[in-house]
Chains A and B, each alone.
Chain A
Amino acid sequence: MEKKDKKYWLSLDHLHDTKGYRRNLRDRYHEENGETGGDFTRRSFLGIMGASLALAGLAGCRRPVEKIVPYVIMPEEVIPGVPQYYATTMSLGTSAYGIIVESHEGRPTKIEGNPKHPSTLGSANIFLEAAILGLYDPDRSKKVKHNGAESAYNDFISFWREQELKFAANKGEGLAVISESFSSPTLMRLRNDFLKKYSNASWVCYEPISDENNHKAVGQLTGRPLQPVYHYDKADVVLSLDADFLLTENENIRAARGFAEKRKPDDNKTDMNRLYTAESAFSVTGSMADHRLRISSADIGRLAFAIADAVRKRGLNIPGVFETDISDFNKEWIEALADDLNGAKGRSLIIAGSRQPIRVHQIAMILNEVLGNIGQTVTYHNANDAIAPDMEALKSTIAKMKSGAISTLIILGGNPVYNAPADLDFASALSKCENSVHYSDYLDETSKLTGWHIPRAHFLESWSDARALDGTLSVIQPMIEPLYGSPSDTELYALLASGRNQRGYDIVRETWQNVLKGGEFEKKWRKVLHDGLLADSALPNEIIKLNVAAIESPKSEKELSNDNLELNFYSSKLYDGRFANNGWLQELPDPINKLTWGNAALLSPKTATELAVANGEIVNIEAGSAKLEIPVWISPGQADYTVAVALGYGRGGIGAVADGVGANAYLLSNSNNPSFYRGVRLTKTGAVMNMAGTQDHGSMHGRPIVREATLNEYRSNPEFAEEMVEHPPLKSIYPEHDYSQGYQWGMVIDLNACIGCGACTIACQSENNIPIVGKLQVSKGREMHWIRNDRYYVGDENDPKIVHMPVACQQCENAPCESVCPVAATVHDKEGLNNMTYTRCIGTRYCSNNCPYKVRRFNFFNYTGKYAETIRMAQNPDVTVRSRGVMEKCTFCTQRLNRAKIKARQEGRTVRDGEIQTACEQACPTRAIRFGNINDPDSIVTAMKKIDRNYALLGEFNVRPRNSYLAKIRNPNPKLGKTEDKETG
């Protein structure tokens, strides 16, 4: 009665494990909270999110009385029922993302990319999309706290006035500030004012996820603080040394877009780019690679030198690089790569990941230099107004704190008690400070230990400004009054710098008086606010000269083994943990391992077998004295003997969503090598944890699901995708509908462009009021995402390739779901869409059973009933909020279709191509998803459906999906022998 097939890919939870294994889990759960207790915990967790809906007024004789409350004075420009769109900016570290915010009656509900802004180009990533939920998070800190007691901002102001008097005398002796890194003229101005005033004070910047090493490398080689900007849209050969530039590095949207631009195989003239990656844990970038080298992070340094050496052997002068021992590397790989790089001078790009040490960044920079890439595929810009993190400075500050030299410590953002390297023991250092202030979104680990806690205004509530990496200036303007009256960054910085309690608006305008010179300030200012950025404010490329001293090549470290593992930290979908209380992000499946609600110790199948651990088994990671209990998750493609752990989990007491989810990897972090180190052991604890993964089965079982070929195969046989399935002529027994008239909506998803980042999923969740269901429900297979991202492994178990496939409702013309619904709750409309009418649905779930794509989602409980008022504010008023017992699914954003159609008709025209974007299409950083009218011969979607790679998923069943896919193409180096790309599992 067991599944005998041991091939890992039948399921990463071997099927036969699964049963017994899941049964244990279930038993565990019964013990814990009874069969449905889990659901109660879910409830209570939603419960904490607020009170249940109360009907306005009492029940009248015939129906409940409903009030209509008009304005007293009608605000200008507000038309109730018509959404408004404003431009603003979200900054994350030193990157700035220009966004457009949709707002209904002054209530922001949706974030989209700003097409004019260079770092978003109209697209978004998961952090931008999810920020809207962050604004309405009921767990946000609302009150100023002083020594744990409630206080007021004014009390803090008077506190600070006293401090001012004290520090005015000694120029800030014993005063220290720890801030987040930022890139903002206003904040920089205020910081400088502060330091001018308190010349003896110290201001350090700390970020657990930082590109400090990159900046240091640039600084050492050029002697100037420059910001590199990578131009993937110009690179034919890309080498990523542990750099996940498509998802986690700076300004990844622009990077992904540029990369995708270079990856269009359909035009026979231009060639597709080729991506080489070397990394330990499978990253989104690695999944897109044509050649991925599995290698421990520490060895990447030596690899970089080996590559440099190989390049040098091709007659390029690389100063100061010495021979290095590369006996344990795949020579063939390195040689082929070197040839490619050498053959693409000025068109190649080497990028080192922010996790890598300075040395690797320097090698990458030198390689770019000698290959003539600098100025072409990578440019350097003055990093004005930017402050980068600095670990050394942090260390010295902490040392001073411990010595008691710091009487007043001000922590602006960040959460060092939680995320500063464990060996620095920030908490105890903090206790030595007489006065301490923490300014943050949540009453978090740090706030609880500081004397003062100041709640922080969300960026959608604040006035500020920011610079993109290339220097483009943009303004951050509030979409809504601060919900809890919290001060904004600018306001607090200003208070510290000047002692004056100014309005953010005035502060920012003050800065911009110098930016918008030459008169007509108001006009220019209004334009900036309208556009969301100052046009052409990007800084020019700096011509740089490298002065390369001899660089010591790293020695190979002690070889890895079962009791000498390499521990890797990587930035997760919670970033560094600041988004831990965001339910959308917690429930978003990890792009690679598909885990939700928690992190895990990722191991390669080989390592797991040798250590005899299975998915969900809780192990102890022992790094010297530090220990961390965390469940194991087997991740094919992980480098052997390396352990990867996502940062940002294991929070306590910050919010209903974040608390108790996952394990806190910072407990193992180490200030000398913050990103990875060796000498780690795993020991079993015997306990097992229920892991909420959304995809148990990683293989396609040889089914033609994701259709894939190499560039050459595609060129020689363009029709390959269609030819992968043979089927009889497709005829329906029902009379054919006529879809030749009017709008006929359709969608194309280019699997060659999709990087699997999940931005579409979050965008959809935000646009369509999709609830989160909590860990237990996800583990039961009840997640609600309308568009999911399927991840399949292809090829060898230990070193597979990955393909991503976003699947939403395929809007079949012959929809199997429709014919079986007993109450006609799901029917077709004349524009070819498969409508789902929630109010008519009685919840037989027959439609879902009969859906070959399993894209329908059922409300097993009343997930939306207990939202907090603030969460209700985040809902899109144009979309019904579904209650218990009804089926729901992707509608192609029918609310957007209707709005556009009505608008077009009233303007006496038809809807223009591109006028309607579905939420997923809009968010997609690589434009992999395109939507439009397939009846319009000139529309983009029609053009894409004409491409040879176009195929319909499960089209052989004559369901006639309106969605179709463009097959995936890889561009392997012919020199590296035949790849297993054709295998589909």
Chain B
Amino acid sequence: MAQIFPKWTNNIQTYIAAGAVFIVVAMVGFFWYYGSPWYTDVGYRPIQPVPYSHKLHAGDLGLDCRYCHNLAEKSVHANIPPTQTCMNCHAIILPESEKLLPVRESWGTKRPIEWIRVHKVADYCYFNHSAHLYAGIGCADCHGNVAEMETVMQVKPLSMGWCLECHRNPEMHLRPREELTNMYWVPPDKDKQLKFAEQVIKEKAIAPPQDCSGCHR
């Protein structure tokens, strides 16, 4: 009687085995990548209603971050500046500029500018800017080098795993107060930095929470 199965089916076990292995690897890989802190919104760069350039203001002009985000050290939020803040300068500087039209509109109509949020931690994470700045975590640690971004982009994962890395050993991230807004700060050589960190941690009683209650309420 005729063969039902072609010859290649003799080593079908091998194919199946190989297939199985592949599937397993694929699944693990899938979770490994998409589940990891590295797969996040990194690279999110929305177009803002006003073509505001951080590179120009924070970089070339060297404005301090806290000129606009003036409550970062006082509050939970690093506030988006009110239109007023823009107009402080732009009433005089480039009062006619096309790009600034939305700002002048908002100033005229008293209707706020609707910026698009770039850096976002989930609503159930209670991140506090003032606490981090007080401890000596610089803007750039979470926001990247904004001074070189035309439009701001998310460069850090902002995932729980990522947060924990720093909460577990903050030493290499702690800065002296005057360096907070410095976009180019790198810790001096390790021992110096560790010594510095040790002393800061002591006098400021810094204890980054690793408990759920630290961020989730």
Contact = CB atoms under 8 A, between A and B. Distances in A.
Does B associate with A? yes
Interface of A: 60, 62-63, 65-74, 79-82, 742, 827-831, 833, 835-840, 878-880, 891, 894-895, 897-898, 902, 905-906, 908
B79 to A, nearest CB: 5
B46 interface: yes
B204 A905 contact: yes
Interface stretch (B15-23, B53-61, B93-101, B124-132): B124-132
B211 A830 contact: yes
Interface of B: 41, 44, 46, 71, 74-77, 79-85, 106-107, 110-117, 120, 122-124, 126, 128, 130-131, 134, 204-207, 209, 211-214, 216-217
Given A79-B75, A878-B217, A880-B217, A895 B204 contact: no
A15 to B, nearest CB: 40
A894 B122 CA distance: 18
B125 to A, nearest CB: 8
Most buried by B among A65, A71, A833, A908: A71
Contacts of B76: 80-82
Contacts of A82: 74-76
Nearest to B76: A81
A891 B213 contact: yes
Chain A, interface SS category: loop
Contacts of B131: 902, 905-906
A824 to B, nearest CB: 9
9 contacts: A62-B41, A65-B117, A67-B114, A67-B117, A69-B113, A69-B114, A835-B213, A880-B123, A906-B131
A833 B44 CA distance: 37
Considering the complex of A and B, which 10 residue pairs feature the smallest CB-CB distances, nearest first? A829-B211, A81-B76, A835-B212, A70-B80, A81-B75, A71-B82, A66-B117, A837-B212, A81-B77, A74-B82
Contacts of A63: 41, 44, 120
A831 B210 CA distance: 12
Contacts of B83: 70-73
B80 A835 contact: no
B115 A880 contact: no
Contacts of A81: 71, 75-77
Interface of B is mostly: loop
A905 B217 contact: no
A897 B77 CA distance: 18
B75 A72 contact: no
Contacts of B116: 65-68
Contacts of B46: 60, 65
Contacts of A895: 126, 217
A80 B82 contact: no
Given A67-B114, A80-B77, 19 more contacts: A60-B46, A69-B114, A69-B115, A70-B81, A70-B115, A73-B84, A74-B82, A79-B74, A82-B74, A829-B209, A829-B212, A835-B211, A837-B216, A840-B212, A891-B213, A894-B213, A902-B131, A905-B134, A906-B130
Nearest to A892: B213
Contacts of A71: 82-84, 112
Contacts of A836: 212
Given A63-B41, A70-B82, A894-B217, A905 B114 contact: no
B35 to A, nearest CB: 15
B91 to A, nearest CB: 13
Contacts of A60: 46
A63 B79 CA distance: 22
Given A82-B75, A827-B212, A879-B217, A68 B115 contact: yes
Nearest to B80: A70
A109 to B, nearest CB: 14
A70 B113 contact: yes
Nearest to B106: A72
Contacts of B130: 902, 906
A905 to B, nearest CB: 6
Contact of B107 (A72, A830, A838): A72
A908 B213 CA distance: 22
Contacts of A906: 130-131, 134
Contacts of A905: 131, 134, 204-206
Contacts of B128: 898, 902
A845 B114 CA distance: 42
Contacts of A62: 41, 44
Of the candidates B115, B126, B128, the one having the most CB atoms from chain A within 10 angstroms of its own CB is B126
Nearest to B216: A837
B176 to A, nearest CB: 17
Contacts of B209: 829
Nearest to B122: A839
Contacts of A79: 71, 74-75
Given A839-B216, A905-B204, A74 B134 contact: no
A715 to B, nearest CB: 42
Point out which of B106, B110, B131 has the most chain A C-beta atoms below 10 A from its C-beta.
Answer: B131
A818 B81 CA distance: 44
A26 B36 CA distance: 49
Nearest to B129: A81
B103 to A, nearest CB: 10
B216 A880 contact: yes
Contacts of A878: 126, 217
Contacts of B114: 67-69
B75 A66 contact: no
A894 B124 CA distance: 13
Contacts of A830: 211
Given A79-B71, A79-B75, A891 B115 contact: no
Given A829-B211, A898-B213, A68 B44 contact: no
Nearest to A838: B124
Contacts of A902: 128, 130-131
A952 to B, nearest CB: 22
B105 to A, nearest CB: 11
A81 B211 CA distance: 22
B215 to A, nearest CB: 9
A831 B114 CA distance: 41
A112 to B, nearest CB: 19
Contact of A68 (B110, B111, B117): B117
Contact of A80 (B75, B112, B117, B216): B75
Contacts of A837: 212, 216
A38 to B, nearest CB: 30
Contacts of B204: 905, 908
A79 B79 CA distance: 9
Nearest to B71: A79
Contact of A898 (B81, B120, B126, B206): B126
User: Counting chain B CB atoms within 10 Å of each CB, which of A60, A902, A906 scores highest?
Assistant: A906
A531 to B, nearest CB: 25
Nearest to A826: B212
A72 B213 contact: no
A864 to B, nearest CB: 13
Contacts of B82: 70-74
A897 B205 CA distance: 16
A72 B80 contact: no
Contacts of A897: 213
Nearest to B120: A66
A908 to B, nearest CB: 8
Nearest to B75: A81
A840 B211 CA distance: 13
Given A72-B110, A73-B82, A80-B77, A838 B117 contact: no
Given A835-B211, A880-B123, A72 B217 contact: no
Nearest to A910: B205
Nearest to B125: A839
Contact of A74 (B77, B84, B207): B84
A295 to B, nearest CB: 50
Nearest to A896: B217
A898 B127 CA distance: 11
Contacts of B117: 65-68
